[in-house]
């Protein structure tokens, strides 16, 4: 008989968050079970073996979409094809980076030889830069065409710095779950909240702005759901869930590839690093301001499948006091 392992034990052993495990379940990569007298998710040997396979593939930077394809295909053809494409992608990146290195070295030589006090030298340097750009657009190596856009893509892949947008959210009323799938992992309560806000959003004409958010409550050590209400919505519409006043404010927003902690960590560190270069902005560490996250895209099952769990993270920021 297979030994069943608690979600908390799996999280500790493999150094991944419970949220990541639930995300893998939502994407159909692993499955868990429950006993009648036990509220936590339990994983058997098959699920653990599948989880180990997922972690290996993620270490190789294989996308969730490709992992789904591998698991949904019998035999080794799919995994060999995916890994083969990954090797090709790495070869291409290496070639692009070598080309980028040569461009930069050549540019360094031009700068070393130029006298910026002379208008003629600056003009020659500009013309050289345009010449290099033309060369990059037309250069071939090993049969692979290269251009400036591909070089930028290669640089982005290496740096993996998030694109950041500043958003000002208005003060408003929000309905809160109070908790969601935290230490008690109460699916009944989270399902009830999910059904409530899906019903509300279906009656809202504006489908552009995100209205549902989550944050991690450090004191409660639980995830909390929030849903932004319209003026006409009352307590009668929220089925007993608490309505709170949301203060709003400035947020630095960036997109992550998934719910996984590694993606959250990358995006958060990227925003913090970005803020060190901002003259007027800084992190807002006030106790009443939380980092929110939001499923990026339409909420229908088909659209979730197409988005593959992409998430927007909203990090609270503020204008520096001395500015």
Q: Mean pLDDT over residues 9-34, rounded?
A: 84
Rounded Cα distance, 67 and 208, in Å: 30
The mean pLDDT of the chain is 78
Q: Is 44 exposed, middle or buried (0-12, 13-18, 19+ CB in 10 A)?
A: middle
| Sequence-ordered list of residues with C-beta below 8 angstroms from that of 196, at least 6 positions apart, any chain | 175, 227, 238, 239, 241
pLDDT of 147 reads: 41
Q: Mean pLDDT over residues 246-256, rounded?
A: 93
Q: For 55-98, how does the pLDDT look when each residue is reduced to its tens digit (9 = 90+)?
A: 888 877 788 888 888 888 888 888 889 888 888 888 887 887 78
pLDDT of 134 reads: 58
- Is residue 250 predicted with pLDDT exceeding 90? yes
Please report which residue ranges of the chain form alpha helices under DSSP H: 7-14, 18-26, 45-59, 64-71, 77-113, 119-138, 148-159, 187-201, 261-275, 301-307
Rounded Cα distance, 267 and 286, in Å: 20
Q: For 168-211, how does the pLDDT look when each residue is reduced to its tens digit (9 = 90+)?
A: 999 999 999 885 444 444 556 777 888 888 888 888 877 666 78
pLDDT of 145 reads: 41
pLDDT of 7 reads: 83
What is the pTM assigned to this prediction?
A: 0.59
Closest CA to 109 of 134, 140, 132, 139: 132
Entry field: residues in the chain: 323
First to last CA, the chain: 65
- Is residue 232 predicted with pLDDT exceeding 80? yes
Q: Are 299 and 204 in contact (CB under 8 A)?
A: no
Q: For 123-174, how does the pLDDT look when each residue is reduced to its tens digit (9 = 90+)?
A: 766 666 666 555 555 544 343 444 445 544 544 455 556 789 999 999 999 9
């Amino acid at each position: 008989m297979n030994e069943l392992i608690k979600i908390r034990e799996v999280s500790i052993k493999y150094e991944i968050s419970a949220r990541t495990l639930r995300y893998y379940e939502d994407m159909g990569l692993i499955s868990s079970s429950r006993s009648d007298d036990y509220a936590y998710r339990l994983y058997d040997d098959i699920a653990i073996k599948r989880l180990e396979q997922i972690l290996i593939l993620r270490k190789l930077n294989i996308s969730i979409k490709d992992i789904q394809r591998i698991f949904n295909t019998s035999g080794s053809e799919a995994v060999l094809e995916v890994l083969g494409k990954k090797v090709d992608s790495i070869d291409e990146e290496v070639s692009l980076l070598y080309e980028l290195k040569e461009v930069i070295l050549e540019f360094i030589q031009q700068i070393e030889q130029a006298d910026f006090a002379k208008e003629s030298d600056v003009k020659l340097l500009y013309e050289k830069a345009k010449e290099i750009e033309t060369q990059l657009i037309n250069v071939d190596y090993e049969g692979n065409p290269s251009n400036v856009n591909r070089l930028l893509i290669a640089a982005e892949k290496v740096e993996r710095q998030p694109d950041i947008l500043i958003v000002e959210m208005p003060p408003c009323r929000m309905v809160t779950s109070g908790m969601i799938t935290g230490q008690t992992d109460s699916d009944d309560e989270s399902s009830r909240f999910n059904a409530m806000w899906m019903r509300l959003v279906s009656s809202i004409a504006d489908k552009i702005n995100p209205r549902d958010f989550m944050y991690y409550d450090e004191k409660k050590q639980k995830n909390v759901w929030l849903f932004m209400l319209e003026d006409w919505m009352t307590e009668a519409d929220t089925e007993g869930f608490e309505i709170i006043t949301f203060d709003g404010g400035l947020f630095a927003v960036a997109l992550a590839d998934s719910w996984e902690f590694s993606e959250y960590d990358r995006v958060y560190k990227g925003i913090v690093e970005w803020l060190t270069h901002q003259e007027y902005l800084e992190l807002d560490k006030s106790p009443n301001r939380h980092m929110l996250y939001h499923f990026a895209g339409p909420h229908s099952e088909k659209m979730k499948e197409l988005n593959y769990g992409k998430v927007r993270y909203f990090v609270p920021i503020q204008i520096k006091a001395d500015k």
